[in-house]
Amino acid sequence: MVQSRVVVILGSESDAEFAAPIKQLLDKFGIRNEFRVASAHKDSEQLIRIIAEYEKLDEGIVYITIAGMSNALSGFVDFKTRHPVIACPHLEEKFGLVDVYSSLRMPRGVVPLVTLSPESAALAAAKILGERNKEFVEKIRRFQEEISAKNKQADGRLRSA
- Predicted confidence (pLDDT) per residue in 27-63, tens digit: 999 999 999 999 988 989 999 999 999 999 999 999 9
What are the extents of the domains in the chain?
A: 4-160
Q: What are the contacts of 104-109 at 24+ separation with CB within 8 A?
A: 106/74, 106/75, 106/78, 107/75, 109/79
pTM value surpassing 0.75: yes
CATH number of 4-160: 3.40.50.1970
Could you tell me if 138 and 109 are in contact, meaning their C-beta atoms sit under 8 angstroms apart?
no
Q: How far is residue 11's CA from residue 46's CA, in Å, rounded to a whole number?
A: 12
Query: Which of the residue ranges 90-94, 108-112, 130-134, 136-140 has the most confident prediction, judged by mean pLDDT?
Result: 108-112
Distance of CA 97 to the CA centre of its chain: 20
Core vs surface per residue 66-82: b (16+ CB within 10 A) or e: bbbbbbbbbbbbbebbe
| C-alpha distance across the termini of the chain, in Å | 50
